[in-house]
Structures are given as C-alpha cells and as structure tokens.
Amino acid sequence: MDSKSSNNKTSRRDFINKSLRISAGITLGGLGIFLAKDASSEDLVWQLDPKKCIQCGRCVTNCVLTPSAVKCVHVFDMCGYCDLCGGFFKPGTKKLTTAAENQLCPTAAIQRKFIEDPFFEYQIDEDLCIGCGKCVAGCGAFGNGSLQLQVQHDLCVNCNECAIARHCPAEAFSRVPASNNSLFKGFSGHEI
C-alpha cells in the first residue's frame, strides 16, 4: 500500500509540473504572438496637414521642444519663384531688398537667391526656422502656397499626446504612417 501511495504522489507531482510547464508555454507563446503582432504593425508619427493649418503660431509656443519640431518646408513644384514673394517680404515693403526690415520672417530663416530676371529661389534654413508660420500665411495670401509647415521627424520626439495637436484650433495634426510621413498640398502631393 505504501508503494501505491508513493506512486500516486509522484504522479500528482508530475501532473502539477506538467501543468505549470504547459501554462508557462501558453503564456510565453501568447506574449510572443502579441509582441510579434505589435512589432509588425506600422509605427505612427505626428504630422501637420497643410490644408487644415491656419498658421496660428501655436506650433512655436506649444511644442515641448525649443525651437519647435515644426518647420517651414518649400514645395518647389508649386513655387512661382516670385520677385515679390509674400512669404519673404512684409506687406507694404517699399524696396525689394533682403534688408532685415523688409523680411517677414522674424529669424531670417528664408534665404533669397537670384535665378534670372525676374525669378528668385527661396531656401529655408531649418536651423533658424521656429515654425511660426508667418511666411506660410504670406505665401498663401499672395502666392501659390508653396511654403508649408511640416513636423520634422528627425527632431520630433513623437509624444504619445502631441502638445501642439492638443492645442491646435484647426485640428490640423494627426497620426500618419512613419513610412509616408509627409502631407503636402499642391501639385505633387508628396514629399519633394
């Protein structure tokens, strides 16, 4: 009888060990499937839709970074290469020179380069751009709208809840796939 009782205890012990191993295997397998599924889903990043943007200036004041991760980009496909660029010159400018008093940008982030009469090319110095949107508003009001604001993903820390998006009155911020992270309006409709 003693040997029979001993066999039962051993089988119970084996049963419990096997049950724990199976439970651990199922748990680890489920965790592995969950992690694999999560890793395969595409990452999302914040981006500004220039069709909705009203150039309110909150990108400068609400971004957790200083300066903001939102910068002006130039969609050259749309640009008219204007002599009198509404995104470069202040309204009512008397002389079309690059003097600071004539420039709309508060940080001189837009560089003007002569191409041929009467055409000029405008380049954005991202290091100087603070994302205020003044040039974007000017270009949209008196030009083709080729200056647009975009989140620069090499700078953005991709907050779970973007502080700019939370305060954006136009609700112009949304999550987009990281593989196609630019939203442009205009002729090309994609990153240049």
Residue-range domain boundaries for the chain? 1-41, 44-180
- Interatomic CA distance for residues 59 and 67, integer angstroms: 9
- The residue ranking higher by pLDDT, 6 or 85, is 85
pLDDT in the model for residue 2: 55
- Interatomic CA distance for residues 172 and 164, integer angstroms: 10
Q: Can you give the pTM of this predicted structure? A: 0.73
Q: Are 74 and 147 in contact (CB under 8 A)?
A: yes
What percent of the chain lies above the pLDDT cut of 90? 62
For residue 130, pLDDT over 60 is answered with yes
- Interatomic CA distance for residues 85 and 73, integer angstroms: 15
Q: Using pLDDT thresholds of 50, 70 and 90, give the confidence band for residue 189.
A: very low
Q: Are 173 and 53 in contact (CB under 8 A)?
A: no
Q: Using pLDDT thresholds of 50, 70 and 90, give the confidence band for residue 41.
A: low
Residue 23 DSSP SS3: helix
Q: Which helix (H) or strand (E) holds 29?
A: helix 2-40
